[in-house]
């Protein structure tokens, strides 16, 4: 930015030069009036947008987490259901476990006990279901290794070796849920993009409005021999700072609001899952610098466009 | 230092003037008169590079205006002092800083002592910390003149610098300009005040130029 | 607003007077410069805020709908589970149906057929569950009347008359879901409130910035003898119109975006349920007038505050 | 029509002037002079109600300034024409509409024919559709004068109306003001131009007031 700025005439040590630079920056800022309302406008815009952005980010992260959970809970597990006459159940179960043990991609397999099975049925039949009186199929839970299992191959092997065993890889259940989570995540990311775009547009417009308001100041400065970079620096510095402060305030407010929200309950996980966890609390901290960068670029472009119209 | 060579200018429509030539060398002193709307301010704008001539050539310190970039122009302006007809200031800075603005804007050190002396000479010591909007019309013109001479420029262009001033103050400022001129500054003053021109001519040898009817001529004997 | 405005000198018919009024308004507007950037800023702010508001509204409506659905699906139904030795099932079922028929608050009761029951079990046991081999409890679906059923009383009556029957009013399932939906609705309403507040603040600040920019214009107008109401009208009219247009554009965009969103699927109803249905498409149309009203009030207050500082 | 009665004014610090009395009746003609910064513009601002006097009383058309509301003030200003020292216009409207602005702002009909005549008299026919920022300094002053007389005001206050004008144009405008005065308008002109005052005094009976050293006195013989 200051590549073309004239260096002070005397040779100085680097420390002095930095001090001189700061003084020059302050001087450059002072030649532009503070302009009360438009300063607040920029601050408020940045704060409001950062606040909304924190929420959109939390939503995206929650959607992400949800998708991951479903991925983990459903995509990585499968069930083998063994329905056979009472006498053959034990035998076929043993065969199935053997087959699974030699199938690549299967991390572990485990027979679901009667208690667990009763728990699964509870919603529909109540806790006092007479398990003894029922001839339920045996269920084997298969936990897949990260790579996943070749379902088709496994299905064929099972059909050959244990005719009563049927593999259910939960595809039916998985697809709509994964799709739903992906769509929610997309929505959240789109809002972040929208918020970012609108923020950039608003900061640009606010900067251009400020520059238009200060057209006379710019003309006077050019007339007394100020360089473009000197004039631009004043505006750019001010708008970047304002956006940074506004965004920081908005992020802080947003994080406090998120933190104050009731903790997530598993009962309605999706709805109350909006919130940040662990390392995620650091993510919103990226918003103010990014916003400041956007403001810096926007103001610079706006400033040089306005300056080009002044001789 | 500033040379106009066969310059013509027009704002879109009819030509204001054509084939104007002028050479401001070191220590030269020019007056520029002519009826209202003749193009005096326009000529001054050509001299400090705010306008590009339609035809002909303007040279600032030997460099052609057409070949100058924006930063070259800024550098040339740091060597020229201008008193504009509508004295514009930064309304949020006190008079003191406005007068020192050419130095601040080009990041040169401000000699506070000289600044005080200058404010005293133009009679603005009491208004040094006032904001420009509270100044009277004459005080604005004096502040504008102070700002123009603050940098000890090589060329001074003044557009109607005494229009809102009483006679005594006008003469006082004129003597400041004559003083500067004697130290080598080239001075060009656009004015309607023929008394001022007469007074100046009694002290130094000044050339009087007159724009009227699209041409510029030397006016001397008729004053 | 124009109570104090001077009437034209000539007496006119009412129609003429209205025409004169429009001309006067146009004249009043013309004396204030258009100020390109700040006009766009107001338009864009209004549009962005209206756009976000449409989405927040859709979210609130979706949450509302969801809560209603759960309310309807869970709160209004209960299940009576009859587990008894094979011989007594039919008898006890008949008793239960009789009891239910005479219980106040029960709209209808219906035995869930075997097919339906199999469908409920399918997730866990697969489609080829040998229903005949199982002795499953009989399920009776109870649909409650709007007032609801006195669960405790019904439970006692059932215990006395059909010892194998157990009432499950789904309380366990209902509460977290209802809570979640309520919280989502609250979140959406809070966003609407936030968006509204921020919009009002931004329009006020934009108006004040425009007024500050035009301080000279205002001073000139006062000096040539213009009344406050004449000057204020120009600004108020302009800002109200701009906000109205911007909000209308934002609402239109938001509605198009909602309309273009993939239709809700029941598989992941909650996630894709964000959208408008039927009469709800009319709700967002209230946003532009409300925004314009806010802008009108904000600009009026700002204008008279600035005018008070000019003699 | 405008009466100042023992008026004093100060901007915060020291008093600019005290115990100033002035009565502008129908057909009166006053000049106001004094060194730059004496308070001429301030006195004019008191006359059209922009400032409240610190002490004493100002009456506009018989009504005390202190008792006037904002709408009363607006109504009084519709009867006063003012040429400000810094001629301010609405930069987005052409000269024509700026000159008609007092009528537009008070929602009175604009007599287009009179407007054209007036623009011709002040020599701005060619600039009628130009925007104010493109005007020369003198053209601005002429436009400001045209705006002030457009409403045929009962009182005309002009602050340095000829500072940027050549002598011929100054005399032309002066004759317009004298013409108005003969038709009953009370005129007050603040100026540094003693020649202008002398020329006027040769045509009508004008009173010359001088502010200096915190007091106002009649100056006549010394001109
Ligand atoms: N930017 C512009 N665009 C169009 N016309 C302009 C512009 N600037 C000046 N003019 C016109 O050019 C003419 C000369 O203007 P200029 O300011 O040079 O006159 P001047 O000699 O300084 O007059 P004055 O003594 O009144 O200040 C005027 O008629 C003016 O209206
Ligand atoms: N708003 C203000 N606040 C403070 N001081 C002011 C204000 N307006 C004017 N002054 C001061 O009051 C004094 C008189 O100002 P005024 O404009 O009345 O002078 P003037 O006689 O019109 O001078 P000129 O001939 O230069 O126009 C000046 O010294 C000026 O600095
Ligand atoms: Mg000029
Ligand atoms: Mg004055």
pLDDT tens-digit profile of C156-209?
Answer: 888 888 887 878 776 655 565 666 667 667 767 777 787 777 777 777 777 777
Judge contact between B194 and B169, C-beta under 8 A: no
Name chain C's partners: 3 or more CB pairs within 8 A: A, D
Q: C267: which residues sit within 8 A by CB, 6+ positions away?
A: A175, A176, A177, A179, A180
Q: What is the DSSP letter of C74?
A: I
pLDDT value for B222: 52
Largest interatomic CA distance in chain A? 103
pLDDT value for C124: 54
Name chain B's partners: 3 or more CB pairs within 8 A: A, D
Q: Phi and psi dihedrals of A266, rounded to 5?
A: -70, -25
Task: Report the gap between the CA of D107 and the closest CA in chain B (Å).
Answer: 30
Three-class SS of chain A: CCCCCCCCCCCCCHHHHHHHHHHHHHHHHHCCCCCHHHHHHHHHHHHHHHHHHHHHHHHHHHHHHHHHHHHHHHHCEEEEEECCCHHHHHHHHHHHHHHHHCCCCEEEEEECCHHHHHHHHHHHHCCCCCHHHCCCCEEEEEEECCCCCCHHHHHHHHHHHCCCEEEECCHHHHHHHHHHHHHHHHHHHHHHHHHHHHHHHHHHHHHHHHHHHCHHHHHHHHHCCCCHHHHHHHHHHHHHHHHHHHHHHHHHHHHHHHHHCCCCCHHHHHHHCCCCCHHHHHHHHHHHHHHHHHHHHHHHHHHHHHHCCCC
- Nearest CB neighbour to B90, from listed A34, A220, A228: A220
B85 pLDDT band, cuts 50/70/90, is confident
Q: Which regions of chain D does DSSP assign to beta strands (E)?
A: 2-10, 15-24, 29-33, 55-60, 63-64, 80-83, 155-159, 186-190, 207-212, 215-218
Distance CA B163, CA B161 (A): 6
Cβ contacts of D126-135, under 8 Å, gap ≥ 24: D127/D95, D128/D94, D128/D95, D128/D96, D129/D94, D129/D95, D129/D96, D130/D94, D130/D95, D131/D91, D131/D92, D131/D93, D131/D94, D131/D95, D132/D89, D132/D90, D132/D91, D132/D93, D132/D95, D132/D98, D133/D91, D134/B11, D135/D95
Domain spans of chain A? 33-71+185-307, 84-163
- Nearest CB neighbour to D102, from listed C5, C225, C230: C225
Mark yes or no for CB contact D50/C223 under 8 Å.
Answer: yes
User: Between β-strands D29-33 and D207-212, what pairing exists: parallel, antiparallel or unpaired?
Assistant: parallel
pLDDT tens-digit profile of B145-182?
Answer: 999 999 889 999 999 898 888 888 899 899 999 999 99
Residues of C in contact with A80 (CB under 8 A): none
Mark yes or no for CB contact A31/B93 under 8 Å.
Answer: yes
**Sign of dihedral through CA atoms B120, B123, B126, B131?**
negative
State whether the beta carbon of B36 lies less than 6 angstroms from ligand 1: yes
Closest C-alpha among B192, B158, B174 to residue B48: B158
- The pTM score is 0.75
Across the range D125-145, mean pLDDT stands at 91
Mark yes or no for CB contact A44/C198 under 8 Å.
Answer: yes
Q: Render the burial of D129-165: b for 16+ CB within 10 Å, e for the rest.
A: ebebeebbbbbbbbbbbbbbbbbebbbbbbbbbbbbb
Which tokens belong to B28?
């030269």
Coil, helix or strand at residue D207 = strand
Distance CA B217, CA B67 (A): 29
State whether the beta carbon of D127 lies less than 6 angstroms from ligand 1: yes
Largest interatomic CA distance in chain D? 49
Judge contact between B120 and B131, C-beta under 8 A: no
- For ligand 2, atom 18: residue with the closest CA: D39
- Mean pLDDT over each residue of chain D, to the nearest integer: 89
Task: Give the ligand at the shortest distance from the Cα of C311.
Answer: 2
Mark yes or no for CB contact A267/C130 under 8 Å.
Answer: no
Please indicate whether chains C and D are in contact, defined as at least 3 beta carbon pairs under 8 Å.
Answer: yes
pLDDT value for D15: 83
Judge contact between C163 and C96, C-beta under 8 A: no
pLDDT value for A72: 61
Tokens 């009437």 sit at which residue?
Answer: C7
Mark yes or no for CB contact A225/B78 under 8 Å.
Answer: yes
DSSP D68-80: --HHHHHHHHTTE
Kindly report the number of other CB atoms within 10 A of residue A310's CB atom.
Answer: 16
pLDDT above 70 covers what percent of chain D? 98
Q: Which atom of ligand 1 is nearest to the CA of B43?
A: 18
Q: Rounded to the nearest whole angstrom, what is the distance from the C-alpha of residue D139 to the centroid of ligand 1?
A: 8
The answer on pLDDT for D49 being more than 70 is: yes
Kindly report the number of other CB atoms within 10 A of residue C120's CB atom.
Answer: 16
User: Which of D87, D128, D139 has the most ligand 1 atoms within 8 A of CB, as the residue to mutate?
Assistant: D139
Q: Rounded to the nearest whole angstrom, what is the distance from the C-alpha of residue D171 to the centroid of ligand 4?
A: 21
Residues with pLDDT less than 70, chain C: 1-29, 34-38, 66-76, 119-136, 170-181, 183-184, 187, 261-274
B55-60 sheet: strands from edge to edge: B15-24, B2-10, B55-60, B63-64
pLDDT value for B106: 85
B189 pLDDT band, cuts 50/70/90, is very high
Judge contact between B48 and B188, C-beta under 8 A: no
Closest C-alpha among C285, C273, C278 to residue C63: C273
pLDDT tens-digit profile of B102-154?
Answer: 998 888 888 888 899 999 988 899 889 999 989 998 899 999 999 999 988 99
Mark yes or no for CB contact A220/B51 under 8 Å.
Answer: no
- For ligand 1, atom 31: residue with the closest CA: D135
Task: Report the gap between the CA of D142 and the closest CA in chain B (Å).
Answer: 10
State whether the beta carbon of D125 lies less than 6 angstroms from ligand 1: no
Judge contact between A83 and A139, C-beta under 8 A: no
Judge contact between A36 and C204, C-beta under 8 A: no
pLDDT tens-digit profile of B17-74?
Answer: 888 888 998 989 999 998 888 889 999 999 998 888 888 899 999 899 989 888 899 9
Distance CA B136, CA B127 (A): 10
Task: Report the gap between the CA of B137 and the closest CA in chain D (Å).
Answer: 7
- Nearest CB neighbour to A37, from listed C55, C184, C212: C212
pLDDT value for D158: 93
pLDDT tens-digit profile of D54-65?
Answer: 888 999 998 998
Task: Report the gap between the CA of D41 and the closest CA in chain B (Å).
Answer: 7
pLDDT value for C13: 46
Please indicate whether chains C and A are in contact, defined as at least 3 beta carbon pairs under 8 Å.
Answer: yes
pLDDT string in tens for chain A (311-residue length): 333 444 344 444 444 555 555 555 556 667 777 666 667 777 887 888 788 788 778 877 877 776 666 666 555 677 787 877 777 778 888 888 888 888 888 888 888 777 777 766 665 555 555 556 556 677 888 887 776 778 788 888 888 888 878 787 766 555 656 666 676 677 677 777 877 777 777 777 777 777 777 778 888 888 888 888 888 888 888 888 888 999 999 999 888 887 776 554 443 344 445 677 778 888 889 889 988 998 888 888 888 888 888 87
- Nearest CB neighbour to D36, from listed B40, B160, B169: B169
Task: Report the gap between the CA of C28 and the closest CA in chain D (Å).
Answer: 8
Q: Rounded to the nearest whole angstrom, what is the distance from the C-alpha of residue D133 to the centroid of ligand 3?
A: 12
Q: Rounded to the nearest whole angstrom, what is the distance from the C-alpha of residue D86 to the centroid of ligand 4?
A: 9
Residues of B in contact with D86 (CB under 8 A): 86, 137
- Nearest CB neighbour to C202, from listed A45, A179, A201: A45
Nearest chain B residue to A222, by CA: B74
Task: Give the ligand at the shortest distance from the Cα of D216.
Answer: 2
């Amino acid at each position: 930015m200051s590549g073309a700025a004239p260096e002070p005439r005397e040779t100085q040590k680097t420390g002095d030069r930095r001090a001189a630079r700061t003084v020059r920056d302050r001087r450059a800022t002072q030649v532009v009036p503070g302009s009360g309302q438009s300063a607040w406008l920029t601050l408020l815009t940045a704060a409001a947008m950062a606040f909304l952005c924190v929420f959109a980010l939390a939503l995206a992260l929650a959607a992400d987490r949800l998708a991951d959970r479903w991925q983990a809970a459903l995509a990585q597990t499968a069930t083998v259901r063994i329905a056979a006459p009472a006498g053959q159940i034990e035998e076929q179960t043993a065969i199935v476990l053997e087959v699974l043990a030699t199938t690549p991609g299967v991390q572990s397999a485990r027979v679901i006990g009667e208690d667990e099975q009763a728990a699964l049925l509870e919603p529909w039949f109540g806790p006092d279901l007479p398990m003894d009186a029922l001839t339920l199929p045996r269920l084997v839970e298969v936990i897949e290794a990260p790579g996943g299992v070749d379902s088709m191959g496994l299905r064929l092997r099972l059909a050959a070796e244990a005719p009563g065993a049927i593999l259910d890889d939960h595809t039916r259940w998985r697809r709509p849920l994964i799709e739903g989570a992906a769509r929610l995540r997309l929505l959240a990311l789109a809002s972040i993009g929208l918020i970012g775009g609108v923020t950039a547009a608003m900061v640009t417009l606010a900067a251009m409005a400020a520059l238009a308001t200060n057209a006379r100041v710019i003309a006077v400065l050019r007339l007394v021999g100020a360089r473009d970079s000197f004039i631009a620096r004043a505006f750019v510095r001010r708008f970047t700072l304002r956006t940074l402060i506004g965004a920081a305030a908005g992020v802080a407010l947003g994080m406090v609001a998120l933190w104050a929200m009731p903790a997530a309950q598993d009962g309605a996980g999706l709805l109350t899952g909006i919130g940040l966890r662990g390392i995620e609390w650091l993510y919103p901290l990226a918003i103010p610098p990014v916003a400041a960068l956007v403001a810096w670029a926007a103001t610079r472009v706006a400033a040089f466009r306005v300056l080009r119209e002044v001789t | 230092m500033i040379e106009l060579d066969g310059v013509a200018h027009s704002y879109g429509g009819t030509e204001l003037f054509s084939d104007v030539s002028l050479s401001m060398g070191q220590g030269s002193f020019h007056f520029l008169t002519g009826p209202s709307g003749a193009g005096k301010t326009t000529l001054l704008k050509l001299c400090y590079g705010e306008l590009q001539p339609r035809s002909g050539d303007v040279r600032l310190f030997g460099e052609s205006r057409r070949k100058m970039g924006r930063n070259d122009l800024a550098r040339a302006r740091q060597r020229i002092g201008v008193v504009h007809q509508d004295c514009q200031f930064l309304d949020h800075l006190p008079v003191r800083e406005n007068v020192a603005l050419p130095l601040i804007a080009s990041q040169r050190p401000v000699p506070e002592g000289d600044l005080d002396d200058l404010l005293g000479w133009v009679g603005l010591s009491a208004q040094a910390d006032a904001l420009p909007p509270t100044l009277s019309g004459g005080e604005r013109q004096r502040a504008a003149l102070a700002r123009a001479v603050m940098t000890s420029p090589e060329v001074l262009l003044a557009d109607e610098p005494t229009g809102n001033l009483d006679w005594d103050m006008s003469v006082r400022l004129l003597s400041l300009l004559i003083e500067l001129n004697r130290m080598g500054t080239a001075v060009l003053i656009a004015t309607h005040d023929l008394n001022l021109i007469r007074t100046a001519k009694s002290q130094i040898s000044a050339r009087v130029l007159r724009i009227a009817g699209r041409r510029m001529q030397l006016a001397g004997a008729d004053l």
